[in-house]
Amino acid sequence: MDEKKMEMENAPAFRHSLPIQMRFNDVDVLGHINNSMYFQYFDLGKSAYFTTIRKGAFDWNKVDVVIANVNCNFYAPMFLGEPVSVVTRVKSIHERSFRVHQRIVNVVTKEIKSECETVMVGFDPVAQTSARLSEGWIKSICEYEGRNLLEQNNDND
């Protein structure tokens, strides 16, 4: 068994899934979904995940986390009308950040089309600086994921 497949099978399950509705404008001149659209799909998945874990109590006018880094791997092309979903989970939480892991998956074949990891950091909108994550974020994520994800070593935060 290859290392990537073994890693995927040993990882905790993705509990959150959002079906993606593709639009004609998402298609590029090569006839597949343009790679830039994947980031919009991942953003939709993150937004839905945040709303779910905060039980609808997420106020988009009082944002206290922002994206610090995004890394994406493209594995296979997607085509208009292909049945795909964005699955989302949080891998770890630190004092000032958490790591969001996402995949775009064909819901019929289970083929992983793309994979993304995003580092979200706590943010103070008044001071315009990074901040500690609120207890609300930490509690909501851990409760939804069903495990303690808080890392005690915060050297990399």
Residues 69-83 have pLDDT tens digits of 999 999 999 999 999
Q: Does position 12 have pLDDT exceeding 90, yes or no?
A: no
Residue 153's pLDDT is 52
Q: Is residue 152 part of a domain?
A: no
Give the integer Cα–Cα distance in Å for 153 and 157.
9
Residue 152's pLDDT is 63
User: Which DSSP helix (H) or strand (E) runs through 66?
Assistant: strand 65-74
What value does the mean pLDDT take over residues 79-104? 97
* Structural domain for 36, as ranges: 3-145
Q: Does position 109 have pLDDT exceeding 80, yes or no?
A: yes
Q: What's the token pair of residue 96?
A: 């000032």
49: domain CATH number is: 3.10.129.10
Number of domains in the chain: 1
- Residue from 39, 92, 20, 100 nearest 66 by CA: 100
Q: Is residue 154 part of a domain?
A: no
CB 49 within 8 A of CB 103: no
Enumerate residues 6+ apart whose C-beta is below 8 A from 127.
none
pLDDT-derived band at 11 (thresholds 50, 70, 90) equals low
Query: Tens of pLDDT along 124-151?
Result: 988 999 999 999 999 999 999 999 999 8
